[in-house]
Amino acid sequence: MSKRESLNIDGIDKIILRELISDSRTPINKISLKVGISGAAVHQRMKKLESSGLISGSHLIINSKLLGYTTMAFIGIYLDKPSENPEAVKRLNKIPEVIECHYTTGNWSILVKILSKNNEHLMSLLNNNIQKIPGISRTETFISLEQQISRQISI
C-alpha cells in the first residue's frame, strides 16, 4: 500500500481500535464482548490491522516527572546547510534527553522535543551538547509550561 492510499476499515475495526487506543492492554475477550464477535475473530482483525501497517506494537508511558525530568522544551534548530541534516540528526539521537526530532518547513531545519531535569540541565544540554554539533548555527528554545492535550488521531 502506498503512503497516499488509505486503508478501509469497518465499524468493528473502529471499535477495536478505539478500545486499544484507550488501553492497549484491554483483553481480547472484553473487546469481543463489546463488538459481538469471537475472541479469535478479534485477534484475526488485530493481526490484519497490524500487517496493514495501521497499528504497530504497544508501549508503556513513563511518568518522566517521577524520574526527576520536570522541564519539557521544544528547540528549533537552524543549520548552516540543509545537507548537514542527516549528520546533525545522528548526533542529536545520541543525546538521551532528545525524545523527538522532526524535519520542518519554515525558519528551522529541525525541531526537537527535549526532557530535562530543570532549567539548568536544559541550559547545559543546549550549551554543551546541542549547540556544539557541527553545522548548527543557532537554536530557539520554547519551554512547555504544561501539556494540555495528548492523544492519538480520532477513529
Residues 71 and 42 grouped into a single domain:
no
| Span of 5-14, 34-43, 132-141 with lowest mean pLDDT | 5-14
Q: Tell the residue number behind the cell numbers 486503508, with chain if given.
A: 7
Residues 137 and 116 grouped into a single domain:
yes
- Counting the structural domains of the chain, the total is 2
In this structure, which amino acid lies at residue 25?
Answer: R
Q: Are 99 and 149 in contact (CB under 8 A)?
A: no
3-state SS assignment for residue 131: helix
* Domain presence at residue 154: no
| DSSP structure class, residue 94 | T
Residues 47 and 91 grouped into a single domain:
no
Question: Binning pLDDT at 50, 70 and 90, where does residue 152 land?
Answer: confident
- CB atoms under 10 Å from CB of 23, counted, come to 10
The whole-angstrom separation of Cα 43 and Cα 17 is: 12
The whole-angstrom separation of Cα 49 and Cα 56 is: 9
Give yes or no for residue 52 having a pLDDT over 90: yes
The whole-angstrom separation of Cα 77 and Cα 114 is: 12
Average pLDDT value over all residues in the chain: 92
| DSSP H stretches of helix in the chain | 11-22, 28-35, 39-51, 85-93, 119-128
pTM, entire model? 0.81
- pLDDT, residue 154, reads 85
Nearest to 52 by CA among 10, 24, 86, 82: 10
Residues 131 and 76 grouped into a single domain:
yes
* Domain presence at residue 109: yes
* Domain presence at residue 118: yes
Give yes or no for residue 134 having a pLDDT over 80: yes
